[in-house]
Structure 1
Amino acid sequence: MGQGQQERVTTSLAGAVAEEIGASLAPVDAELERRYPGDPGTRQPVHTVYVPGDAFTADTLRDWGDRALAALDEHAPDAAAFAAALGLDETLADDVYARVRAKLEREPVEDLRVDFEDGYGSRPDAEEDEAAARAARLIAAAYADGTAAPYMGIRMKCMEAAVRDRGIRTLDIFLTGLLEAGALPDGLVLTLPKVTYAEQVTAMARLLDAFEKTRGLEPGRIGFEIQIETSQSILATDGTATVARMIQAAEGRATGLHYGTFDYSACLGVSAAHQASDHPAADHAKAVMQVAAAGTGVRVCDGSTNVLPVGPTEKVHDAWRLHYGLTRRALARAYYQGWDMHPGHLPTRYAAVFAFYREGFERAAARLARYVDRAGGDVMDEPATAKALAGYLLRGLDCGALDPAEVARQTGLTRADLEGFASPRRGDLTATAR
């Protein structure tokens, strides 16, 4: 058959066959849409900072930024010193150092949780009542005057019998206080710790449902994170992955799974000297979390290091290298968020994040541009890879590692274009290419 001649197309199956198959799979289609809606397409913070309820003040965010800048001034006063301390590529040193300082001045904390659990402990009821009310007032004021972090909220006590009523009351006081001050902020985040059974997650969902009905809020308005810090949250007694059931038990309200390094390690009997986010037990738990959350719209978050960058410069540099290395390790494993326990961790958090996106930027942008233009190259990318490349660039933009102008220049794409590639509709990863 010569070129240009139309191909003869024939089929054997009646149209009714496809219709019958479609009808039989309709419930599966609906289940996929419900259980696996995909990434929400919103910004994910690079970290979460926990501050005890009694220590949180109107100045906490700025204080953390100022203390982080002071640590840089004392222990790494220029880009060369910072690069030498971390083992940072010299070609990235000036840019990363400048961006870290700018970030600490502009937005030192991306996600803050006022802690009423381990970091706060057991206090008289009147004292915790007052602290919860104060947290609501200060957070509402911060959002009102533009000084808030992008995400803010509280970690309440868990759903275990001994502290359940106290946790519920603190949550009620906090949410009520926010509403009395005006409205629930868009960046509101709540954290439910020490979950062992899916029923505890269901209880939290029902608690929030009751609050929404009482206050006339839109159903499902309030979401929450689930902390994974017990062995029972990973593996149930029947051998199934409990964390997968927890996501469904949240009834669409789960926003994240946060790994608790030290509680989980202790639960497994790991000695204190070896409790770390890169321990094999931690890697197993986080791999299970990652698979359970994939495609559900629930994001995963790594734990923290308790090695603080304090003391003489040599000791600070040792702690910085540890934190930088753990953060880079997590990023490579697609854990784009982690906990930070001290202002001195902020310089290395942002250095690791910025270096991760800066060093891979040009190659990622070029690959995505070739994919869009169908230009080929030395790597044959598929739609799923284009999705990952766009997500990488968007995360870099959100945290300040990348600038909109340079991304547009290198890819020829707008942010809306990137979002289209990063969050395609289910079953349609073939986003339009030129």
Structure 2
Amino acid sequence: MATLTAADLAAVDTRLAGTDTLLSTEYPGDDGTRQPVHTLYVPADRFDLELSATFGAAAAQAVAEAGGTVALAHTVGLGHLAEELAPLVDAKLAAEPIEDLRLDFEDGYGARPDAEEDADAVLAAERVAAAVAAGVAPAFIGIRFKCFEEPTRHRGIRTLDLFLTTLAGVGPLPDGLVLTLPKVTTVEQVEAMVALCEVFEERLGLPAGRLRFEVQMETPQLIIAADGSVPVATLLHRAQHRVSALHYGTYDYSASLQIAAAHQSMEHPAADYAKQVMQVAVAETGVRLSDGSTNVIPVGDPDHVRDAWKLHARLVRRSLERGYYQGWDLHAAQLPTRYLATYAFYREGFAAAARRLDAYLHGDDATIMDEPATARALARFVVRGLGCGAITASEAVEATGAEPAELIHLAHPKLVTADKEA
């Protein structure tokens, strides 16, 4: 006979009601949608409907000048997978060279006369709408406007206003629309952005909650505030679920810590500390992470090009190994090494992950006894590889014995539960 009564259990439920609500609302887990492997930044006035094709062609030309994709794979230390990677990367550069594009009105655009930026903001919206309608826009596309610090606040908000108002006037907002708020220093700046989103939605006739935005982590004040708190964690829970991602800004953050320019890098210990804090803050919130960029561009002298490609490929791999599945790119010649390094990461780990998933799902290997949490991590790995094109659906089915939909369900059980409840 049990000791506890129904009343005792009800008392525990009452005591933990707040915890239950917190976990279900603030820590829903990843929503299972696609995350791009990179964000490419271009000055806003450079965007046109041919940009993706132009960048793809430029990337392919850079590869050709290096002797082809197989040769480039050898150059960056991936010779053992060169024949396997080459057709996948070549196909990617031809079909989808840019996964996520940011039209930059901030550092990449600079300070210009108001009339010029006004015109460019309207033109950017018109061109984005036209690219989406023509089917030539990247899956994810949007703008980075100027930050909410006093000197640039009104300019940044006006650019955002002109872009969104023009875009909404053309038709429905693109599904992959992304807005990027840079150089955030306080939670209040995020709250101000939330308030603006609410105004835009009301006045433009958008559904409540339609507008979300990325926060660029470029200042140390978001890691540790004046009162010793960790604002990056606080802002996520004060943003009414509108923050979609945190993007690390390599150079602004490093400069704020007075790190010498020659030593500013994605792999500096200061960068690793900031990114680890970000990683803990977003865990299970559904907010995505992106690493920053390297400004060492593979152009010019052949020796420099080779070294820049090797550096970029190594940094991409380093980010992936640390749980940062997205990063910034700044030039077409970085696209080949972005995909080579990314595809190699997933393909190198695929066989072992698939074998363990097969054992977990079908119980065929008594030597492996993975727990559900590990199975979810394995499934997420394979699903990410499928999403970016590193792994084909037929390969996944053959190796795991599961269809992609089953792997997605395993990777994101909270999403499946919510679907059933709906």
Alignment TM-score > 0.5, same fold? yes
Q: Which residue of the other structure, out of 196, 199, 223, is the alignment partner of 2:212?
A: 223
Deviates more, 1:369-378 or 1:179-188: 369-378
The residue that corresponds to 2:276 in the other structure is: 287
The residue that corresponds to 1:402 in the other structure is: 391
CA contact (8 A) 1:199 1:249 kept: no
**CA apart distance, 1:53:** 1.4
Structure 2 matches for 1:2-401, cutoff 5 A?
10-79=1-70, 81-90=71-80, 92-401=81-390
CA contact (8 A) 1:49 1:341 kept: yes
What whole-Å deviation, never above 9, does each CA across 1:334-390 have from its counterpart, x for those lacking one? 100000011110000000010011111111111011011233444431111111111
Whichever residue aligns with residue 245 of structure 2, its letter is G
Whichever residue aligns with residue 11 of structure 2, its letter is E
CA contact (8 A) 2:69 2:82 kept: no
Whichever residue aligns with residue 84 of structure 1, its letter is H
Distance 1:77 1:426, change over 3 A: closer
- Alignment partners' CA distance in 1, 2:102 and 2:227: 34
Look up the SS of the partner of 1:117 in the other structure: coil
Deviates more, 1:70-79 or 1:155-164: 70-79
CA contact (8 A) 2:214 2:244 kept: yes
- Alignment partners' CA distance in 2, 1:425 and 1:67: 42
- Alignment partners' CA distance in 1, 2:204 and 2:251: 37
Look up the SS of the partner of 2:359 in the other structure: helix
**Between Structure 1 and Structure 2, whose CA radius of gyration is higher?**
1
Look up the SS of the partner of 2:240 in the other structure: coil
What whole-Å deviation, never above 9, does each CA across 1:133-189 have from its counterpart, x for those lacking one? 111111111111111101000001111111111111111111111111111000000
Where does structure 2 lack aligned partners over 5 or more consecutive residues? 418-422
Size of the alignment, in residue pairs? 417
- TM-score, length of structure 2 as denominator length: 0.97
Where does structure 1 lack aligned partners over 5 or more consecutive residues? 1-9, 429-434
Distance 1:177 1:25, change over 3 A: same
Whichever residue aligns with residue 227 of structure 1, its letter is Q
Whichever residue aligns with residue 12 of structure 2, its letter is I
Whichever residue aligns with residue 152 of structure 1, its letter is I
Look up the SS of the partner of 1:162 in the other structure: coil
- Alignment partners' CA distance in 2, 1:331 and 1:369: 24
CA contact (8 A) 1:51 1:114 kept: yes
Look up the SS of the partner of 2:227 in the other structure: coil
Give the RMSD, CA atoms, in angstroms.
Answer: 1.3
What whole-Å deviation, never above 9, does each CA across 1:110-146 have from its counterpart, x for those lacking one? 0000000111111111100111111111111111111
- TM-score, length of structure 1 as denominator length: 0.94
Look up the SS of the partner of 1:300 in the other structure: strand
Identity across aligned pairs (percent)? 53
